Structure 1
């Protein structure tokens, strides 16, 4: 099931296709739409697929990653960066394996709860349990790392694009 915001986002993407005929122009437009939806508009969801809500930022991140893959095709990633990214993903994996196979899971703060309610005795810490949301989080973290690499290769080499994006972020924030 799609929402009104989904139609609005699709319309924005189609307008960008007609307005920006070249690849770099449309890619920069897509980055700007991602920034606006991620920072300012992130209310609601793009589609509801069997109880799983796909957010606007997730759809836009996938589009930016797919269109940005040519920018990292022949890129050499520093070994130190690969080591840190691999260590992050490996530590998350070990933590998930610990959650799956432990008989005495640690108590954690439930998602959306506050420490104030725990401190006052209104709520309690709950035992940690592995769920489908953990798989989605590791996918989102992997997408974020890939998006960072793409934006690093695309934006940080060109000061004009970087300044344009900085001005856009400030102006869109002031407008909204």
Structure 2
């Protein structure tokens, strides 16, 4: 497990963890395409010509699915040698509300770090990717939504 870094200038909200140096949040939330449980901002999907397939995290797991790996390999190529090669990424891990706050923050960070590490293994420089966790802070209270809460959001860092 990667150790989270300390917040810099209070950029992280209370209850969030970061595995890299935090950046300033972007103005407004970008439109996003949900590909299973990888949520990738529309501007990234469009620039990288990504498919709309599922990429699920199992309950209590940070292991990437094969579909997630295929999508992330395309994303890495786009950010390594493609049209987004000069852009940085913010990767945010989420969980469903089962488990303690501390456990879910750690699991969300493990999910974000799994995505970051996969992108780095595929050629994206690690300093260009911030991995952070919000744990269960944005999770639904409805058990029918919990599959959707187990996700990683990927967007351009500001």
Q: Which TM bucket (shorter chain)?
A: under 0.3
Larger helix fraction of residues: 1
Q: Which has the larger radius of gyration?
A: 1
> Relative contact order (alpha carbons < 8 A, sep ≥ 6): 1 or 2 greater?
2
Q: TM-score, normalised by structure 2?
A: 0.24
Larger strand fraction of residues: 2
Q: TM-score, normalised by structure 1?
A: 0.22
